[in-house]
Amino acid sequence: MTTRKPLARLKGGNNEGVVVLVLLVVVVLMTVANPEFLSFSNLFSIVRSSLVPTVLALGVLMVIISGGIDVSFTAIAIFAAYSTVTWVGPGGAGAVVLLVLACVVGAALGLVNGLVISTLRLPTLIVTLGTSTMFKGVLIAYIGAQYIADLPEAMARLGNANVLSIPSGGEVANLHVFVIPVAALCVLVWWVLSHTMWGRSLYAYGGDPEAARRAGFPVVRAQIILYTAVGVLAAVGGLMHVTLSRNANPQDLVGSELDIIAAVVLGGASIFGGRGSVLGTVLGVFLIQIIQNSLILVGIPSVWQRAAVGAILLLGVGVQALSAKRTSRKVFAYADEEVVAA
């Protein structure tokens, strides 16, 4: 016991330590293969490409902890962001107004998920698969199918705002200002998950729904709040995505939900529910982004990136299933010597 404990702590409650290790190995390998990898400009660009996935992943994390799975968050993200851009138009309206508008739209769509899932107790995957298609259809049919290049003034300005600029090898490496709100969101979600009863109720519900009900957790309310919150996070993510890509395309994001789910699962969240952490999720997002980035750097065609993400997801889930099988393996009562001695 005593020899195992420090190692177990290093490994982390959700195998975060293992993800860190894999991350380090990938970084070392990539640096050896291409020293450009460790340049500021490449690192900052990895961070930039991780911003939106991180925000979306935080929502997915909460759903997975509660034992559910959500595939509609990308549809909500683009719905909220695109409709906000369409309604506001290229003119004024400050960043706060845009954010509030998008969040209201995201919350409303998330609420639809929450109401259907909590009151009808339907499988979350089926419900969100349905609402996802529905949201996308409504977006294209009623709000717009046009690619919008003229973003509202505030967003256009934010798209180029950097918090840190470092000259690196002839060019300037820029760290986007969104790292600050994204980091704040991570801290907020971590705090909510570990220090509020609502956060603990997600873990409890994911661990054993019936026990959570018997313990008096308001499970219906908790689920409605959960999916609404995921809708809000998706809206924030969508708005960031539109801002960073400097255009609003209603066809964006939808289709990338697997990358996000893969990152969360890779970060140690159990697909069976009840387990997962913000730290692991952030590490998972980075790992996926670095692997995708590396594949480009070493010149592997982008079609293979999809295959790589799929393989990573299967790997992550496979490892979980194997370790679940190992812990459930029968432990016999006696060590062999004891039986012999008896």
Partner 1 sequence: MSSEPSAATAPVLEARHIVKTYGGVTALDDVTFEARAGHVHCLAGENGCGKSTLIKIISGVERPDSGSIVIDGEEYGHLTPAEAIRAGVQVIYQDFSLFPNLSVAENIVLTAQVADRKRLFSAGSTRPRAQAIVDELGLDIDLDARVESLSVANRQLTAICRALISDAKVIFMDEPTTALTRTEVSSLFALVERLRERNVALVFVTHKLEEALQVSQDLTILRSGSLVVTGPASDFDRRSVTKHMTGRDVIESRHLNDYDATAAPRLSVEGLTLSGAFRDVSFEVRPGEILGVTGLLGSGRSEIVESLFGIYPAGSGTVRVDGRQVRLHSITDAIDAGFGYVPSDRLTEGLCLDKSIADNTISASLDRHRRWGIFTDRGKVASTIDRFFTALRIKAPDVSAPVRSLSGGNAQRVVLAKWLANDPRVLMLNGPTVGVDVGSKEEILDILRAQATRGMSIVVVSDDVPELVSVCHRVLVVRRGRVTHEIAGDDVTAPAIESGLAA
Question: Which tokens in the block code for residue 248?
Answer: 């609003």
Q: How many CA atoms lie within 13 A of 90 on its CB side?
A: 5
Residue given tokens 């799975």 in the structure block: 69
* Cβ proximity of 240 and 178 under 8 Å: yes
Other beta carbons within 10 angstroms of residue 221's beta carbon come to 13
Q: CB 274 → partner 1: shortest distance, Å? A: 3
Q: CB 111 → partner 1: shortest distance, Å? A: 21
Q: CB 5 → partner 1: shortest distance, Å? A: 9
Q: CB 321 → partner 1: shortest distance, Å? A: 15
Q: CB 183 → partner 1: shortest distance, Å? A: 21
With respect to partner 1, which residue has the nearer C-beta, 61 or 77? 61
- Measured between alpha carbons, how far is 83 from 58 in angstroms, rounded to an integer? 23
With respect to partner 1, which residue has the nearer C-beta, 302 or 327? 327
Q: CB 66 → partner 1: shortest distance, Å? A: 12
With respect to partner 1, which residue has the nearer C-beta, 48 or 213? 213
Cβ-Cβ contacts under 8 Å for 98 (sequence gap 6 or more):
84, 88, 152, 154, 155, 239
With respect to partner 1, which residue has the nearer C-beta, 237 or 274? 274
- Measured between alpha carbons, how far is 13 from 16 in angstroms, rounded to an integer? 7
With respect to partner 1, which residue has the nearer C-beta, 325 or 330? 330
Helix (H, G, I), strand (E, B) or coil at 342: coil
Amino acid letter for position 104: V
In the complex, which residues of this chain contact partner 1 (CB under 8 A)?
Answer: 194-201, 203-204, 206-208, 210-217, 270, 273-275, 327, 330, 332-336, 338-340, 342
Q: CB 19 → partner 1: shortest distance, Å? A: 19
With respect to partner 1, which residue has the nearer C-beta, 153 or 208? 208
* Cβ proximity of 268 and 244 under 8 Å: no
With respect to partner 1, which residue has the nearer C-beta, 11 or 200? 200
Cβ-Cβ contacts under 8 Å for 106 (sequence gap 6 or more):
76, 77, 79, 80, 231, 232, 233, 234, 235, 236, 238
* Cβ proximity of 40 and 101 under 8 Å: no
